[in-house]
Amino acid sequence: MLPFKTLIIIDESSSVAVYRQIADCLIVMITDGVIQPGTFLPSTREMAVLLDKHRNTIVAAYEELITQDWIETLPRVGIRVALDLPLIKPRSFQEGGKNKTYSDPAKFSFRHDIPGPVQHSFPLKRNSIIVNDGFPDADLAPFDSMLREYRKLMQGSRLKTLMSLKDFGGTQALKNSTVNFLNDSRGLNISTDNLLITRGAQMAIYLAAAMILKPGDHVLVSDPSYYIADEVFKQLGANLIRIPVDEHGIDIEGVENALKSTKISLLYIIPHHHHPTTVTMSQLRRTRLLELIRSYQLPVIEDDYDYDFHYNNSPVLPLASSAHNSNVLYIGSFTKLLAPSCRIGYLIGAANFIIQATNLKRLIDLRGDTMMEEALSVIINNGELDRHIKKSKKVYNERCDQTSLMVANQLSHAVDFTKPQGGLALWLKFKAEYPLGDIISKARSAGLLFAGTAYYEGEDQKHNGMRFGFASLKESEMQRAVEILRKITI
Amino acid sequence: MLPFKTLIIIDESSSVAVYRQIADCLIVMITDGVIQPGTFLPSTREMAVLLDKHRNTIVAAYEELITQDWIETLPRVGIRVALDLPLIKPRSFQEGGKNKTYSDPAKFSFRHDIPGPVQHSFPLKRNSIIVNDGFPDADLAPFDSMLREYRKLMQGSRLKTLMSLKDFGGTQALKNSTVNFLNDSRGLNISTDNLLITRGAQMAIYLAAAMILKPGDHVLVSDPSYYIADEVFKQLGANLIRIPVDEHGIDIEGVENALKSTKISLLYIIPHHHHPTTVTMSQLRRTRLLELIRSYQLPVIEDDYDYDFHYNNSPVLPLASSAHNSNVLYIGSFTKLLAPSCRIGYLIGAANFIIQATNLKRLIDLRGDTMMEEALSVIINNGELDRHIKKSKKVYNERCDQTSLMVANQLSHAVDFTKPQGGLALWLKFKAEYPLGDIISKARSAGLLFAGTAYYEGEDQKHNGMRFGFASLKESEMQRAVEILRKITI
């Protein structure tokens, strides 16, 4: 017989009744396999003696187990562990491969109005060319420098200390480096109190919007706009008001009219290399927009995801660098400067806003990647990042020239486009006789996969346009991609 | 004179009026420093000739610039660029160090009801001991293996391809490995359709809760509960109903009574090594809870952050492994198995739920860390992760024994605690005569910093308890930490 006295541990001081403690221990023994199905248990009288408890206590415990189907009484034979255990069947008991727990769809109500990305067809054809929205070239990424810093960090004790502390939205070292980097490159004049480190610009957009928007609020966005930002605002319950974009940026009169007629809670704007159209907002509109921001006290998310890649001349400074009465929340990312996998972005705002945004970030993403943040801080401080930007800017500028030339020469029958002043993508507007859906599916069959966001559905149908990210393509790949597009459009 | 004909580019086909295009170009030249403040511009007549435009067009352009304060007319002298440019002042123009853009607090309305973490006082004292909530030891982390895999990945072309594609909530390789890992270790029986890769368990909690909760909904949580999960639910507008936890886990009758009296939208529960109390739910309660889940069709977030560290015997299987009609959303993380900086977690649910959760995740965190995900997948597949778990479990088990013994021997006058069956922390309940706030501040002065969440404020005052993470402490550090606590309590 099992040493029940040792196995069944009773805490008399517990608030849990003794009979239930006994029942509980027996269930654990059964589910752990210590007592096998079909095994007879000691009678209540025997068990009472074994455990030195009143018999009624044992009776109550057994009754509990019977109610729960763990044990069964065979009249005049005894009490045995059920042959068919009620519930907790280890995996080996289950019929092979049959999913018992998640075979049904979830039946409780949940929000289900978020459109998802279009699935890629897997497996990709061998040698397929992938054209994305405008990602940096992972082959150029400063992984060597990052890994060198990782190794150094592993050897010291600093990393362990940092990892043991709470995260207040980025390591102090990265906050300091980022402040210097932004003040130098963008004419900002911020301190670390104005900065929150995020997982890429996307999280910064989400946090800023979630801080500001209430259901039913109105948000001004451009038409077209960055698709996934639109979805963020919708998800938070906001109504979008779309203002057209032309070759000088968003239509400022449209913005002003909207402000006059409606209570606007937020303007989302991408002044540099607008997504998707690649347009850079003119100085004049910039000036007017700043006036509107100040006079209406208009909260703004300025998404400047692509600032560092400007080819023709020095980039226009962000709105955030001018007087805006703390209304402009400035968002950017190191991701485009490093690699798609290195998702470190930032949100800039007034100190009181940043404190709350940091608290909100913690609820969504408890800690950043301490190791990556520290390594990035080192390569900002020692100048490697600046050198890397200079080097990759040169490459991307060439690729922009090359792709633009190829598109102009080979696709002008089908495509309208303007060579952008900067950024990592072209905006190809297909003429109406080339519906984008057809183009994309024909291209895929021919080995050219568009992994970016196409603008050809619903309200966006009128744009019939698509981002053509050139930055991560070698010249031969651009050539093949453009050739495929030519072939399927003639 | 400047080559205005070359510099001022006019697009006659543009929808923007020619005079405004001219004004716009001039503003760019002024802000770029091509035309310095004080420089005289050609007269309207001269400029009309230079640009081959009607003089009235130039007059309109100049008037625009005058309105905007970019240029000024000196009667009988000419038109010059304003000495005091209206807005866009490069950084060098600003008074040194003075923050013009973010010196004010944000004045627009934003949500500001999220309590933040208590700030650490920096700089830390030399040789301060940091005790966290229960983090893994970064010195044990398999960084070497991860870095080895990073280097391999950098050499192939696979990584670049993966980074060019959209992210559907984790790389396919990591999804496959994670499904195998979870099915083997937890008796789940899921496929990749049931899995979303997240940034740690925290993001999984946020996503699951944001999918389910509407403002005004009621959520059942334990009392005490994981503080930051509570904040997530509150942030989403839910009301919390707190159900006490005793040494067998959450009070099931309390849960049932709540279900009977109120419409409950969600139960948040941590059956293994409950946070903060470290209690593991008994089999009996587990069984009853599963019955309630099925009969009430109750949506549940099962947070199993610490499953893999169970010392006494094999852990009880998660609720998610039993029949629950797809109501249990199962959440966990690799972070505790790797290092605090390696934030890869997962959310398990019915396929229809996971699709939507993946779409929501994309709005918050566009992509995961492809490199880390691929490397983790390799060390799961080749068995390194299992060996690492075994190895670190042994270390943590010893540290649990050592710390428990020290606390029992040296702190029993001040502290109630029960040695946990697993996990990376003790739950120290200080007796009422030792208010936790005092203890924490005295400890800090003595060189012992508690970086975890203390339960001694507001409603939590009654608990007067604190997590003591032992897993990342060496024996000498535990000794010093416990000694400091002894000294300040006698």
Which A residues in the span 439-458 are in contact with B, Cβ-Cβ below 8 Å? 451
Question: Do A187 and A300 fall within a single domain?
Answer: yes
CATH number of residue A396's parent domain: 3.90.1150.10
Question: Do A321 and A269 fall within a single domain?
Answer: yes
Beta bridge mates, B321: none
pLDDT for the residue A13: 72
Q: What is the mean pLDDT of residues A210-236?
A: 95
Identify the three-state secondary structure at position A228.
Answer: helix
The answer to whether position A470 is within a domain reads yes
- CA–CA distances in Å: residue A474 to residues A131, A158, A203, A420, B95: 11, 40, 30, 19, 46
Domain boundary among B357, B382, B407: B382
* B179 contacts on A by Cβ (under 8 Å): none
pLDDT for the residue A314: 64
| Among B15, B91, B116, beta carbon nearest to A183 | B91
Name, in order, each residue with C-beta under 8 angstroms of B194's C-beta and a sequence gap of 6 or more: A99, A102, B179, B348, B349, B350, B351, B354
DSSP assignments along A165-185, one per residue = SPPSSS-HHHHHHHHHHHHHH
Q: List pLDDT tens digits, range A321-332.
A: 988 999 999 999
Q: List pLDDT tens digits, range B149-175.
A: 999 998 888 888 888 888 889 999 999
Task: With CB atoms and an 8 Å threshold, state whether B187 touches A161.
Answer: no
pLDDT surpassing 50 at residue B474: yes
Q: Which residue of B has its CA nearest to A23?
A: B284
Question: Do A344 and A396 fall within a single domain?
Answer: no
Q: List pLDDT tens digits, range A95-153.
A: 333 446 788 888 888 776 777 766 655 556 667 899 999 999 999 999 999 999 999 99
Interface test with A, best of B18, B22, B101 (most A CBs within 10 A): B101
Question: Do A274 and A400 fall within a single domain?
Answer: no
The answer to whether position B105 is within a domain reads no
Question: Do B153 and B291 fall within a single domain?
Answer: yes
Question: Do B399 and B462 fall within a single domain?
Answer: yes
Interface test with A, best of B71, B84, B102 (most A CBs within 10 A): B102
The answer to whether position A314 is within a domain reads yes
The answer to whether position B301 is within a domain reads yes
A212 touches chain B (CB under 8 A): yes
Task: With CB atoms and an 8 Å threshold, state whether B356 touches A111.
Answer: yes
pLDDT surpassing 60 at residue A93: no
Query: In B168-323, at which residue ranges do the beta strands (DSSP E only) sit?
Result: 195-198, 218-223, 239-246, 249-250, 266-269, 300-303
Question: Do B465 and B361 fall within a single domain?
Answer: no
pLDDT surpassing 60 at residue B94: no
User: Cα–chain-centroid distance for residue A364?
Assistant: 10
Task: With CB atoms and an 8 Å threshold, state whether B189 touches A342.
Answer: no
Beta bridge mates, A332: A346
CA distance A42 to B359: 56
Domain boundary among A81, A101, A118: A81
Q: List pLDDT tens digits, range A383-397.
A: 999 999 999 999 999
- Mean residue pLDDT of chain A comes to 89
Structure tokens at A389: 């930007």
The answer to whether position B318 is within a domain reads yes
Question: Do B65 and B164 fall within a single domain?
Answer: no
- CA–CA distances in Å: residue A32 to residues A87, A88, B259, B452: 13, 10, 30, 34
Q: What is the pTM of this model?
A: 0.83
Question: Do A162 and A254 fall within a single domain?
Answer: yes
A305 touches chain B (CB under 8 A): no
User: How many domains, chain A?
Assistant: 3
Question: Do B193 and B282 fall within a single domain?
Answer: yes
Question: Do A196 and A258 fall within a single domain?
Answer: yes
B321 touches chain A (CB under 8 A): yes
Domain of A336 in residue numbering reads as: 158-382
B83 touches chain A (CB under 8 A): no
Question: Do A187 and A200 fall within a single domain?
Answer: yes
Q: List pLDDT tens digits, range A447-465.
A: 999 988 888 777 888 999 9
Domain boundary among A327, A359, A382: A382
Lowest mean pLDDT among A10-14, A192-196, B191-195: A10-14
The answer to whether position A342 is within a domain reads yes
The answer to whether position A101 is within a domain reads no
CATH number of residue B26's parent domain: 1.10.10.10
The answer to whether position A194 is within a domain reads yes
Question: Is the ipTM beyond the 0.85 threshold?
Answer: no
CA distance A90 to A93: 6
Q: List pLDDT tens digits, range B284-320.
A: 899 999 999 999 999 999 999 989 998 876 677 899 9
Name, in order, each residue with C-beta under 8 angstroms of A441's C-beta and a sequence gap of 6 or more: none
